[in-house]
A and B are shown apart, each in its own frame.
Chain A
Amino acid sequence: MTAVAEPEVGRARLRKEDARLITGRTRWTDNLSLPGMLHLAFLRSPVAHARISKIDTSAAKQKPGVIAVVTGADVAEEQGSLPCAWPITEDIKIPNAPSLAVDEVNFAGEAVAAVVARSAAEAVDALEAIDVEYDELPVVLDMNEALAEGADLVHPELGTNKCATWVFDSAEAGSGGAIDDAIAQADVVLERTFRQQRLIPSFMEPRSVLVDPTGEQITVWSATQIPHILKWMISAVTGVPETKVRVIAPDVGGGFGGKLQVTPEEIITFLMARRLGRPVKWTETRSESMQSAHHGRDQIQKITLAAASDGTLKGLKVELLADMGAYLRLVTPGVPILGAFMFNAIYKMDAYRFECTNVFTNKTPTDAYRGAGRPEATFAIERMMDELAAELGRDPIDLRRQNWIKHEEFPFTTVAGLTYDSGNYEAATAKALELFGYDALRQEQRERRERGDTVQLGIGVSTYTEMCGLAPSRVLGALRYAAGGWEHASIRMLPTGKVEVITGTSPHGQGHETAWSQIVADRLGVPFEDVEVLHGDTAASHKGMDSYGSRSLAVGGTALVMAADRVIEKAKKLAAHMLECSEDDIEFSGGKLTVRGTDKATDIQSVALHAHVAHDLPEGMEASLDSEATFDPENFSYPHGTHLCAVEVDTETGQVKIRSYVCVDDVGTVVNPLIVEGQVHGGVAQGIAQALFEDAVHDESGTLTTGTFADYLLPSAADLPSFVTDRTETPATTNPLGAKGVGEAGTIAATPAVVNAIVDAVRHLGVDDIEMPCTPMRVWRAVHSGTRAEGGPGGEAGGGLGSIDASGGAQ
């Protein structure tokens, strides 16, 4: 068959990955076992802050099947400190971060000892026999209290709970005016404080690590998003040369940023396998995951928006407190900074100032979770746009239209200093409004208000953009990030005409095997089925920066296109030799190399074989068409779109029902519309979940009270509606695919659309905000007190597991 009749890019190819996944033939890390394999289990601190005054492991060592028991003191020499790759300021405070606590624990769930035994059950049994005495210390939970004079300290040796303060000011950067002037000259100044509650990424596959020390290289299988970074960091932390470490991310069951980490468990499993000389595996329970794998969000946002009375935006001031939790993990302090350039979003304004203070508390460390910084920013600005519209008596879409960057104004340099390459907010919004039936819903809203219906209708808007395709290395360097943002790809042209693609991206549900095959099939004119995509094993894929930040296609896909183009260059040279013509006369199209103006031709497969046998090559040519490329983007990419949500709010029960959800996203050129649509569905679901259901709640002693799937309310099928999705397509101008990235868009856009809709439904009752998650209790309280509903630390978790139809969620 020929794959050239119809372009592969743009086709809704069904996924190559599915066959193994739907038949149970998947290689999850926990599915693997090796001869002589031992099992590791962790003892975790039940208290949030304490000195460890004594650990006695002698009884545990006598338990059946136990091979070794170690404490932090036992591995203190080898374990090093877990890496923080993003020291955002010169004077940032970075606490020592041992994988196993040595003499102090700083959050409930921190690992204090590890047992290695012949079976997983024996390892867990022996944990109970470890005797630990804790001298409890004061627990720091609230960020404002943590910053107060004389506050108890999480890390007394740092002398403060303030980790770092990071500032962007448009006047200083030269990208705009001074915020104080903008506020002074404005007719309207609105101030609001929003809470971004703490969330748990909740990938469905629990984390798992298997380390085999028996070869020359120590092989680490891990349920990770970042095999390449992990390899580097294992070496950096333990001192084992990088050449002696091989990391494999086999099939990985979701990540959402939650597996963008170098974990204590990976390090300790590695050290124990090396120490014992036998393979060791650790797989977490869900409760362990929720307590100890990093959390996301957790910010308090004070926002000041200044505008003229005609609605023209003047300036925006953002003052954030961001909860780091107890330690700085891989990119913990940088997550809020990823939002710093996004609060101004798609709008034009004169002045912008962002100031973020990162704070330590005795809670699980936070780090990346789908969107990482950008959902927080989008939430704040999109909520504020609705507030301003209400203040001025304007239609919220109209107000946005007045202020957004017009399609003819691209490329546009924003007040935050980014240059948006392309976009068409008008087109996406027009399409969304039509699909949504905006006017009819507004009409119904008026009618319900007039007749005092107990069920009120609200309409929420979110016209978002995001910066993704992480990232130009020079920008990362300027932001003090310790690594680059390039991506690598290579292509092996096999003698049989088949093609192996090696990518440095590390998919865990995104379908790269399918999409990358489409790109290569198109570029090289080979059948889709003939392309095999290899990834996630540092021995095969020797170079990469992995998958996160909606980067894989925009950055890794571009590297792939470059590598393919190099294959073609080599093939042309060899074809010219084979066909006895000048290289300039060779035309390449759809896998065929033709001598211009003749019917003399060969194909890429024949040329690959010719190169491979190497019997007759042109002077100076190497015996290979294989090529590789590393792409470092010049700019971020900027997907955008318009999401519209209609909710029905029962004013008597506080119950919220999503009546319809329409989104029109512009993610640039699409390789596989089926995969893109799936990403949008999943992203929107997670955004809605933040608005309505999820909340990682700690009690006053610092214990996570939502530490299982029975308490932390992940939405089920019964909790979510069907979404209407559509697209507009404005190609990115910064990469040859025109792709912008889609992994995080839905999550970024959805949360404010839902909350705006809820507030819109009950605004006439005096409500101007409801804290997330908007549980029936919070909505009811807001409606009945006519003010914003209080939440804060200790607030209740959302309703879930059928709660849209039930009456009180977790209450």
Chain B
Amino acid sequence: MRITTTVDGTSYTDDVEPRMLLVQYLREKLGKVGTVVGCDTSNCGACTVHMDGQSVKSCSVLAVQADGREITTIEGLSADGQLHPVQQAFHDSHALQCGFCTPGMIMQAVDLLKENPDPDEEEIRAGLEGNLCRCTGYQNIVRAVRAAADKMQPSAAPEAETSREPVGASMPSEVAQS
């Protein structure tokens, strides 16, 4: 079947098998290997991307269902060499260790903050329930999401509002210790 999909701002037209999953399409056809597969039962969330601005587990969407849709993956989140505030916050809060869950976690967190720009800890934990991490115990992930929320608040300082920061250049290399 022929599909046309916009992925990270580029339009692609491809023939795909009807059974091909969106995550397979992204990884195998487009080489978008930033999105990963952690399970076969839709439990881990490692494969989370945005479809028309909503987070979906790309292992439970068929490639053909993405026809005519707009997909954003972790690779498209930091467009123009600017880190998204959630990416920045994951770095700043040491919210990743091995990093395998991280693309999915970040995409889910972005969606969570869109739905609820000012979540408390419990709401963050509930919002990330479909994304498993084996390394961090989640504490720093929760901290990162909360920090990103603060930064993305409309009331935050103007420069933080647009809040895309150059990759690398502005990555602080140390945090103050409590």
- A residues with a Cβ closer than 8 A to B are 11-15, 17-26, 28, 30-31, 121, 202-206, 251-254, 256, 285-287, 508-511, 528-529, 673-675, 677-679, 681-686, 708-710, 714, 716-718, 720, 722-723, 746, 801-802
Query: A675 contacts which chain B residues (CB < 8 A)?
Result: 94
Contacting pair A205 B39 (CB below 8 A): no
Residue of B nearest to A514 (CB): B173
Say yes or no: B139 contacts A681, CB within 8 Å. yes
Which residues of B lie under 8 Å from residue A718 when comparing CB positions?
Answer: 125-126, 128-129
**Taking the complex as formed, is B92 at the interface, i.e. its CB lies under 8 A from any CB of chain A?**
yes
Contacts of B46 in A (CB 8 A): 204
Q: A13-B174, A716-B125, A717-B133 are in contact. List 19 more A-B contacts (CB 8 A).
A: A18-B91, A24-B75, A24-B103, A30-B37, A204-B101, A205-B36, A205-B98, A251-B99, A287-B40, A509-B98, A681-B137, A682-B97, A684-B137, A685-B136, A686-B134, A716-B129, A716-B138, A717-B129, A720-B138
- A254-B134, A254-B135, A681-B137 in contact; A18/B99 too (CB < 8 A)? yes
> Does B74 interact with chain A (Cβ within 8 Å)?
yes
At the interface, yes or no: B106 with Cβ under 8 Å from chain A? yes
Residues in B with CB closer than 8 Å to A511 are 97
Pick the contact of A12: B34, B36, B174 (CB < 8 A).
Answer: B174
Are A710 and B41 in contact, with the CB atoms below 8 A?
yes
Q: Which residues 64-92 of B sit at the A interface, judged by CB distance below 8 A?
A: 73-75, 77-78, 83, 87, 90-92
Residue of chain B at shortest CB distance from A711: B41
A95–chain B nearest beta-carbon distance, Å:
31
Which chain A residues border B142 with CB–CB below 8 Å? Answer: 717, 722
B126 adjacent to A254 (CB under 8 Å): no
Question: Cβ of B96 and Cβ of A21 under 8 Å apart?
Answer: yes
Q: Which residues on the A side are within 8 Å of B94 (C-beta)? A: 14-15, 674-675, 677-678
Return chain A residues, CB-CB under 8 Å to B121. Answer: 722
Interface centre among B33, B125, B129, B134 (most CB of A within 10 A): B134
Q: B75 is contacted by which of A23, A206, A716 (Cβ under 8 Å)?
A: A23
| Least CB separation from B84: chain A residue | A22
Q: List 29 A-B contacts (CB under 8 A).
A: A12-B174, A15-B94, A18-B96, A20-B99, A22-B91, A22-B99, A24-B103, A25-B34, A203-B134, A205-B36, A205-B98, A205-B100, A251-B99, A253-B98, A254-B97, A286-B44, A287-B40, A510-B97, A674-B94, A708-B43, A714-B134, A716-B131, A716-B132, A716-B138, A717-B133, A717-B142, A722-B139, A723-B137, A746-B137
* Bound-complex Cα distance A203 to B38 (A): 9
9 closest pairs, A vs B, by CB? A24-B34, A21-B99, A253-B100, A509-B98, A685-B137, A681-B137, A709-B43, A24-B74, A509-B97
Known: A14-B94, A253-B100, A685-B137. A23 touches B78 (CB 8 A): yes
Contact of B140 with A204 in the complex, beta carbons under 8 Å: no
A19–B173 Cα gap in the complex (Å)?
11
Residues in chain B near residue A679, CB distance under 8 A:
97
Q: Does B172 contact A (CB under 8 A)?
A: yes
> Does B102 interact with chain A (Cβ within 8 Å)?
yes
Q: What distance in Å separates the Cβ of B34 from its nearest Cβ neighbour in chain A?
A: 2
CB-CB nearest in chain A for B175? A12
Does B117 make an interface contact (CB < 8 A)?
no
Cα of A163 to Cα of B9 in the assembled complex, Å: 59
The residue of chain A having its C-beta at the shortest distance from the C-beta of B107 within the complex is A24
Cα A779 to Cα B97 with chains together (Å): 34
In the complex, are the beta carbons of B98 and A252 less than 8 A apart? yes
Residues of B within 8 A of A204 (CB): 38, 44, 46, 98, 100-101, 132-135
Determine the distance from Cα of A679 to Cα of B140 in the docked complex, in whole angstroms.
Answer: 11
Identity of the chain B residue whose Cβ is nearest the Cβ of A683 in the assembled complex: B137
Min C-beta distance of B71 to chain A, whole Å = 13
- Is B174's CB under 8 angstroms from A24's CB? no
| Distance in Å: Cβ of B58 to nearest Cβ of chain A | 13
Assembled-state Cα–Cα distance A710/B130 (Å): 11
Known: A204-B100, A286-B38, A509-B98. A22 touches B87 (CB 8 A): yes
Q: How far is the CB of A420 from chain B (nearest CB, A)?
A: 28
Once the chains bind, are B175 and A674 in contact (CB under 8 Å)? yes
Q: Is B177 an interface residue (CB 8 A)?
A: yes
A529 → chain B closest CB, angstroms: 8
With both beta carbons as reference points, the residue of chain B lying nearest to A32 in the complex is identified as B33
Q: Judge whether B39 and A14 touch: CB under 8 Å.
A: no
A202 partner residues in chain B, CB cutoff 8 A: 134
**Contact status of A685 and B138, CB under 8 A, knowing A14-B94, A26-B34:** yes
How close is B17's CB to chain A, nearest CB, in angstroms?
8
Chain A CB within 10 Å — which of B27, B44, B78, B132 has the most? B132
Give the one of B36, B106, B124, B141 with max A CB within 10 A: B36
- Chain A CB within 8 A of B18 CB: no
B140 touches A17 (CB 8 A): no
B160 within 8 A of A: no
Q: How many residues of B contact A (CB 8 A)?
A: 64
Residues on A with beta carbons closer than 8 Å to the beta carbon of B171: 14, 18-19
**Chain B 4-44 interface mask (CB, 8 Å, partner A; 1/0):** 00000000000001010000000100001111111111011
Interchain CB contact (< 8 A) of A23 among B17, B41, B74, B177: B74
A487 to B37, CA, bound (A): 33
Task: Say whether A716 contacts B128, CB under 8 Å.
Answer: yes
B28 to chain A, nearest CB (A): 8
Q: How far is the CB of A555 from chain B (nearest CB, A)?
A: 20
With a cutoff of 8 Å between Cβ atoms, the chain A residues found around residue B53 in the complex are none
Min CB distance A540 to B, Å, is: 21
Expressed in whole angstroms, the minimum distance between the Cβ of B84 and any Cβ of chain A is 9
Contact (Cβ within 8 A) A708 B41: yes
* Contact indicator A18/B74 (Cβ below 8 Å): no
In the complex, A24 Cα to B49 Cα: how many Å? 12
Which residue in B33, B43, B139, B176 is a CB contact (below 8 Å) of A28?
B33
- Residue B62 CB within 8 A of the other chain: no
Instruction: Report how far A660 CA is from B136 CA in the complex, Å.
Output: 18
Q: Which residue, B87, B98, B125, B175, has most C-beta atoms of chain A within 10 A?
A: B98
**A20 — which chain B residues lie within 8 A by C-beta?**
99
Which A residues are in CB contact (< 8 Å) with B167?
Answer: 19, 23
Is there contact, CB below 8 Å, between A682 and B38? no
Interface residues in B109-165 (C-beta closer than 8 Å to A): 121, 124-126, 128-142
Residues of the B chain whose Cβ atoms lie less than 8 Å from the Cβ of A256: 134
| Cα-based distance from A718 to B119 in the complex (angstroms) | 14
A204 (CB) vs chain B CBs: closest residue: B100
Q: Which residue of B lies closest to A675 (CB)?
A: B94
In angstroms, Cα B167 to Cα A462, docked, is: 43
- Report whether A206 and B38 are in contact in the complex, using a CB–CB cutoff of 8 Å: yes
Smallest distance from the beta carbon of A55 to chain B beta carbons, Å?
25
A-chain residues with CB within 8 Å of residue B19 when the two chains form the complex? 121
Contact of A286 among B39, B90, B140, B141 (CB under 8 A): B39
Residues in B neighbouring A683, C-beta threshold 8 A: 137
By a CB distance below 8 angstroms, the chain A residues around B36 are 28, 30, 205, 253
Partner of B139, one of A17, A121, A723: A723
Shortest B5–chain A CB gap in Å is: 18
- Tell me how far the C-beta of A293 lies from the nearest C-beta in chain B, rounded to whole angstroms: 13
Min C-beta distance of A687 to chain B, whole Å: 10
Central interface residue in B40, B102, B137, by most chain A CB within 10 Å = B137
- Kindly report which residue of chain B lies nearest to residue A20, judged by CB atoms: B99
Q: State the CA gap A802–B126 with chains docked (Å).
A: 8
Whole-angstrom distance from the CB of A515 to the nearest CB of chain B?
12
Which residues of chain A are within 8 angstroms of B43 by Cβ–Cβ distance? 708-710, 801
Q: A528 to B134, alpha carbons, bound, how many Å? A: 29
- Measured CB to CB, the closest approach of chain A to B51, in angstroms, equals 17
* Contact A13-B173, Cβ < 8 Å, known A681-B137, A718-B126: yes
CA distance A478 to B26 in the complex (A): 52
The listed residue with most A CB atoms (<10 A of its CB), out of B34, B92, B131, B168, is B34
Closest to A802 in B: B129
- Please, which residues of chain A bring their CB within 8 A of the CB of B172? 14
Task: List, in ascending order, chain B residues with CB within 8 A of A17's CB.
Answer: 99
**Which residues of A sit under 8 angstroms from B91, Cβ to Cβ?**
14-15, 18-19, 22
B130 partner residues in chain A, CB cutoff 8 A: 716
Residue ID in chain B nearest A11 by CB atoms:
B174
